[in-house]
Amino acid sequence: MNTIVRLALEEDIGSGDITSQACIPESQIANGRFLAREPLIVAGLGLLEEIYATPVTLLKHDGDACAAGETIATVQAPARLLLERERVALNFLQRLSGVATAARCFADAVAGTGCRVLDTRKTTPGLRALEKQAAAAGGVTNHRMGLYDAVLIKNNHIAAAGGVRAAIERVRAAGTLPIEIEVRTREELREALACGAGHLLLDNLTPAEAADWVREIAGRAKVELSGGITIENIRAYAEAGADFVSTGAITHSARAMDISFRLELGLEQE
């Protein structure tokens, strides 16, 4: 079982669901339906069979659009089991579908510009892999999973290393991963380009400023824009000529979507 799922079940169930055990016969079988109560992009469906430890019928797949009132998945099992795991299942589905829905909104906002939207490491502790899967299901591109799989030299690295050139040279000496570096001034920009940096992160510029910097870069490096990116302004940043726009809002500010669980009683087991 996924460690996160196990921990979530242990957190909620503890020593047992005392309410269900008290009022529902152990032999009672039931059917459960997960319903979208608003338009959304669904994600997290792969967790349901882990949560219930029984086959689940999926009527949608991660990344699918759901209309209000549509059934997303169904499951049949003892009623006690369905009820004791209902909240955990909904917590995962609502949270991850929220991330996927936000991701789809951002991806749709830059459609036709040639710019790709990146997610970030601004994720819920312990849920990064799941939230990044949900972001990808929504249509954005996953950036690095952690500090271990890509080089990103930020302003504090530059300060600690003693400058742009020193930071780039030390990273190059340490390995062969592609280098992305954040630049905050025109001087840093020109120094990074002179050092052959292939991916530049431009932070906290206006769309007009970003367009001016992109013109100076003139295709000599990939350009990523970040900082203050919202659903209202992301297209203006994309149209500034960026290759990528990154935003933490996809994960840190995603709203949990409205999904419900409906129980229907079946026959009791003999």
- Range(s) of the chain covered by CATH 3.20.20.70: 112-252
Residues 6+ apart with CB under 8 A from 50: 1, 2, 5
CA distance 68 to 48: 20
Tell me the Cα Rg of the chain.
23
**What is the architecture of the domain spanning 3-103+255-268?**
Alpha-Beta Complex (3.90)
Nearest residue to 79 (alpha-carbon basis) of 54, 46, 45: 54
Q: Where is average pLDDT lowest: 62-66, 90-94, 173-177, 190-194? A: 173-177
At a CB cut-off of 8 Å and minimum separation 6, what does 67 contact?
36, 39
pLDDT digits (tens, 9 = 90+) for 185-218: 999 999 999 999 999 999 999 999 999 999 999 9
For the chain, give every residue range classified as CATH 3.90.1170.20.
Answer: 3-103+255-268
- Per the listing, tokens 């882990």 go with 50
Write the pLDDT tens digit of every residue in 113-155: 999 999 999 999 999 999 999 999 999 999 999 999 889 999 9
Residue 179 pLDDT level (bands cut at 50, 70, 90): confident
Question: Given this model, what pLDDT does residue 178 score?
Answer: 82
Answer yes or no: pTM beyond 0.85. Answer: yes
| 3-class secondary structure per residue, 186-234 | HHHHHHHHHCCCCEEEEECCCHHHHHHHHHHHCCCCEEEEECCCCCCCH
Assigned superfamily of 112-252: Aldolase class I (3.20.20.70)
What value does the mean pLDDT of the chain take? 95
Q: Give the pLDDT confidence score for residue 175 in this predicted structure.
A: 81
Q: Are 254 and 101 in contact (CB under 8 A)?
A: yes
Active site residues: 87, 122, 154, 182, 203
b vs e for 215-234, b when ≥16 Cβ sit within 10 Å of the residue's Cβ? eebeeebbbbbbeebeeeeb
CB-based contact 93:259 (threshold 8 Å): yes
Q: Residue 141 forms beta bridges with which residues?
A: 118
> Under 8 Å CB-to-CB from 166, ≥6 apart: which residues?
none
